[in-house]
Amino acid sequence: MPAYGPEPEANAGRRPGLLAVTFVILALSVSYLPATAQQRIAWGVRVTVLRPFLATQERLTAARTNARDVEELMGQVDSMTVFLSTQAAMSDENRALRELLDLSERAGPTFLPATVLRAGTAGSESMFLVPVGTAQGVYVGAPVVTRDGLVGVIREVQREISRGMDWTHPDFTASAMLQDGTMFGLVDNRRGAFRELDRLVLDGTAFNEEAAPGTWVLTSGLGGYPRGIPVGVIDSVEETQGQWRKSYWLRPMVEPGQVTHVLIATRGAGDDIAALWETAALTASDVAPTSTSMEFRDSVQVPDSVQGAGGRRR
Amino acid sequence: MKSDARVWFVVAVLATTHLLLHVGFGIGRAAPDLLTVALLLGARELGMGRAAGLGLFFGLLEDALTVLSFGANSVAMTIVAALGAVTRDLFVGDSTLFLVSYFVIGKWTRDLVHWVMVGESLRQPFFDQVVVQGLTGGAYAAVVGLVLLEVTGLRQEAAA
């Protein structure tokens, strides 16, 4: 570092000090600007200076996914070849069930597929960007889902890009109910010592109602989210207050850190989308994390009720 | 290449590399905080006012990817840049001890100010974020900064 060079002329006098104080005040005032002004500034920086870097991340994510898809497809081709050579009838059924369980195909055009981009900088935890916006029909408050359940919600929408938060964000809440509709409450999160230890809690449930471990918890349709999106599974009682209220730990359906692709609901998705997940057909042992669900799908050990559903559709 | 031009070239490359690693590749904390290293290098070349301006610009780059703590990085980087520029008047020399202290304290101060500004609801415990992660990140930044100064020849040039 050339520390011995001549002192910068700008260091002389009071002017640099005043300038520095001005910049510090400017930086402080940025923190207290209205949210809309902050968003405008952030947006300006993102579409100019940061644009190439965000585009790089998008391309890299797509490339990684393509590489993984090729491996997965090769594996599937090999498996299918063996399968076809031995059990042609089972193979046909296998294909039909895969289609049945593929959420994006079931969801149809009212759900937009998108790649999740994460900034990885300080303060951007629990937030993500998706390269779809108002031009594609995305709106503020649109639920972001995967085949396993709810990931989060869209918070800010621009023409070609949107920003969302996942359920680990401190602001996340969702009105929820048990799968059978017998108990309603509010799902929020509890921060763990590490981000991986963040957990979901079903809060505000009546004391005299009991939720059995393993019961699915879905969005109730109140407060913004469409009805029927899986959020988590009852794990254990978190807290009991007096004789009037209980809260439960949930095992989340989705681990946000592992999510690379999502579906985003548009306005045409409807108020009740429970049918997309076939929740009644799945048991708690098939729940979350994503990898488990992938194994579940790939092993094609589908419960009888789903096989029945597959048979009906065919 | 003149030394000034070389310093600013290094600063620009560091800032670009930081954004590429953190935003483009999404590496996260595994990658060093090159933006702070770049700021600390650049601040020694500028007066306090301009250094603060550079810090504000770098801070806004990071704040553009945050929501609830918007402005925390701007304040942290602005203050660190201004203090970095002041060290030029207070300390002369580029001994290893000075440079290690400069980078470690600079990065740690940046993390401390960010922790203060980010707000109670979002920040992690002080010991985890400021003491452990701040000092580890400071050491990481110091190693990277020293290696860069050696590789680019900026340190030998100053000593000569």
Q: What is the pLDDT of residues A267-299, one digit of tens each?
A: 777 777 777 776 444 444 444 443 333 333 333
Is the CB of B80 inside 8 Å of chain A's CB atoms? no
User: Which of A23, A39, A46 to mutate against chain B (most B CBs within 10 Å)?
Assistant: A23
Q: Does the distance separating the beta carbons of A1 and B149 come in below 8 Å?
A: yes
| b/e map A217-226, b = 16+ CB within 10 Å | bbbbbeeebb
Reduced to 3 states (helix: H, G, I; strand: E, B; else coil), residue A129 is: strand
Residues 6 or more apart whose Cβ sits within 8 Å of residue B44:
A1, A3, B84, B85, B87, B88
Strand residues in chain A grouped as ranges (E): 111-115, 127-130, 143-145, 150-157, 162-166, 173-178, 184-190, 199-206, 216-219, 230-241, 245-252, 261-265
From the list B27, B94, B117, the residue facing A1 with the nearest CB is B94
Question: How much is the pLDDT for A90?
Answer: 64
Lowest mean pLDDT among A91-95, A244-248, B6-10: A91-95
From the list B78, B93, B122, the residue facing A3 with the nearest CB is B93
| Average confidence (pLDDT) over A202-227 | 87
Greatest CA separation for chain A: 88
Q: Does the distance separating the beta carbons of A7 and B25 come in below 8 Å?
A: no
User: Which of B2, B22, B34, B63 to mutate against chain A (most A CBs within 10 Å)?
Assistant: B63
Q: Does the distance separating the beta carbons of B154 and A20 come in below 8 Å?
A: no
Cα separation of B120 and B129, whole Å? 13
CA-based R_g, chain B, Å: 15
Q: Does the distance separating the beta carbons of A16 and B158 come in below 8 Å?
A: no
Domains of chain A: 14-47 (no CATH), 106-301 (2.40.10.350)
CB A245 within 8 A of CB A189: no
Q: Residue A260's closest CA among A75, A92, A102, A66?
A: A66
Q: Does the distance separating the beta carbons of A119 and B23 come in below 8 Å?
A: yes
Burial status of residue A239 (CB atoms within 10 A of its CB: 0-12, 13-18, 19 or more): exposed
pLDDT per residue as tens digits for the range A26-82: 999 988 888 889 888 988 998 898 889 888 888 888 888 888 888 888 888 888 777
Which residue reads 């401190």 in tokens? A170
| Average confidence (pLDDT) over B103-129 | 87
Q: Does the distance separating the beta carbons of A28 and B154 come in below 8 Å?
A: no
Residue A264: strand pairing partners: A112, A144
pLDDT per residue as tens digits for the range B42-100: 998 888 899 999 999 999 999 988 867 889 999 999 999 999 998 877 777 678 888 89
From the list A10, A60, A123, the residue facing B69 with the nearest CB is A123
The nearest alpha carbon in chain A to B37 belongs to A1
Between residues 25 and 64 of chain B, which touch chain A (CB distance below 8 Å)?
Answer: 25-28, 41, 44-53, 55-56, 59-64
Question: Which residues of chain B make contact with A36, given a CB cutoff of 8 A?
Answer: none
Question: Which residues of chain B make contact with A49, given a CB cutoff of 8 A?
Answer: 61, 64
Which value, to the nearest 10 degrees, does the dihedral of the CA atoms of residues A13, A16, A17, A22 take?
A: 140
Q: Does the distance separating the beta carbons of A20 and B48 come in below 8 Å?
A: yes
Question: How much is the pLDDT for A292?
Answer: 36
Structure tokens at A187: 């799902």
The nearest alpha carbon in chain A to B16 belongs to A53
Structure tokens at A238: 């978190």
**Number of other CB atoms surrounding residue B16 within 10 Å:** 16
Question: How much is the pLDDT for A102?
Answer: 62
Q: Does the distance separating the beta carbons of B61 and A165 come in below 8 Å?
A: no
Q: Does the distance separating the beta carbons of A123 and B118 come in below 8 Å?
A: yes
Question: Which residues of chain B make contact with A197, given a CB cutoff of 8 A?
Answer: none
**Number of other CB atoms surrounding residue A115 within 10 Å:** 18
Distance of CA B9 to CAs A229, B12, B13, B35, B100, Å? Answer: 51, 5, 6, 13, 22
pLDDT of A157 over the 80 cut: yes
pLDDT of B39 over the 90 cut: yes
Question: Which residues of chain B make contact with A117, given a CB cutoff of 8 A?
Answer: 26
From the list A8, A120, A171, the residue facing B26 with the nearest CB is A120
Contacts A–B by Cβ distance under 8 A: 204
From the list A17, A31, A41, the residue facing B117 with the nearest CB is A31
Lowest mean pLDDT among A80-94, A198-212, A227-241, B91-105: A80-94
Q: Does the distance separating the beta carbons of B50 and A19 come in below 8 Å?
A: yes
Structure tokens at A172: 């996340």
Q: How far is B18 from chain A (nearest CA, A)?
A: 10
Q: With bands split at pLDDT 50, 70 and 90, how would you rate the model's confidence at A7?
A: low
User: Which of B14, B27, B48, B117 to mutate against chain A (most A CBs within 10 Å)?
Assistant: B48
Is the CB of B119 inside 8 Å of chain A's CB atoms? no
Distance of CA B40 to CAs A120, B45, B63, B106, B145, Å? Answer: 22, 9, 19, 7, 9
Q: How far is B40 from chain A (nearest CA, A)?
A: 10
From the list A42, A52, A60, the residue facing B25 with the nearest CB is A60
The nearest alpha carbon in chain B to A55 belongs to B24
